[in-house]
Amino acid sequence: MTQKNNPKASDRPFWQDPGQLDANRLPSRADFFVYQDRESAECGQRGESGYYRPLNGPWSFLYLTDPGAVPEDFIEPDYDDSDWDQIPVPSNWQMMGYGKPNYTNVNYPFPYDPPHVPDDTPVGCYRKRFRLPKDWSGKMVRIHFAGVDSCYELFLNGQRVGFSKVAHMPAEFDLTSGLAEGENVLAVLVYQWCDGSYLEDQDCWRLHGIFRDVCLLADEPLHLQDLWTEALLTEQPDQGSLRVHLTLGQALPGRCFPLRLHLQPRDTSGPKQVFDLTARAGADGLAVLDETFTIDNIRAWNPEEPFLYLLLVELPSADGRASWTPFRVGFRTVERRGCEVLVNGRPVKLKGVNRHDTHDRLGHVTPYQVMVKDIRLMKQHNINTVRTSHYPNDPRWLDLCDEYGLFVIDEADLETHGDHITGYALSSDPDWTAAYVERLERMVSRDRNHPSIIIWSMGNESGYGTNHLRMIEKTRAMDPTRLVHYCEAGWHEEVDIVSSMYPVAHALPGHERPDLKPAHPLDRNYSVAEFARATDRPYFMCEYAHAMGNGPGNLQEYWDLINEHPSLLGGCV
Q: How far is CA 250 from CA 220, 280, 527, in A?
A: 9, 12, 57
Given 411, 441, 461, 530, the catalytic residue: 461
**Whether the Cβ atoms of residue 169 and residue 147 lie closer than 8 Å to each other:** yes
**Whether the Cβ atoms of residue 473 and residue 43 lie closer than 8 Å to each other:** no
189: nearest Cα among 216, 167, 212, 160: 160
**Whether the Cβ atoms of residue 282 and residue 271 lie closer than 8 Å to each other:** no
Identity of residue 225:
Q
97: nearest Cα among 209, 212, 213, 214: 209
196: nearest Cα among 402, 71, 22: 22
Contacts of 246 (CB under 8 A, 6+ apart): 224, 226, 227, 228, 279, 288, 289, 313
494: nearest Cα among 518, 528, 462, 465: 465
Listed in order, strand segments (DSSP E) in 515-554 are: 539-543
91: nearest Cα among 52, 125, 56: 56
- Alpha carbon dihedral 433, 434, 438, 441, in 10-degree steps, equals 80
Given 415, 438, 488, 543, the catalytic residue: 543
Contacts of 39 (CB under 8 A, 6+ apart): none
At residue 434, the 3 state secondary structure works out as helix
Burial (CB count <10 Å: 0-12, 13-18, 19+), residue 423: exposed
User: Is 543 an annotated catalytic residue?
Assistant: yes
The CA distance from 52 to 29, in Å, is: 17
The CA distance from 6 to 20, in Å, is: 7
Active site residues per annotation: 461, 543
